[in-house]
Amino acid sequence: MSQCECISIYNNGIIHIINREPYETNMDVYKRGWFIIKNQHHEKDKCKLQSISLIDNYKNKGMEYDI
What single string gives the DSSP state of each residue in 9-51?
A: EEETTEEEEEEPPTT--HHHHHHHHHHHHHHTTT---HHHHHH
User: Range with the lowest mean pLDDT among 15-19, 24-28, 48-52, 61-65?
Assistant: 61-65
Q: Smallest Cα–Cα separation from 35: which of 4, 24, 5?
A: 24
3-state secondary structure of 7: strand
Buried b (16+ CB within 10 A) or exposed e, 3-34: eeeebeeeeeeeebebebeeebeeebbebbbe
Determine the pLDDT at residue 17.
Answer: 92
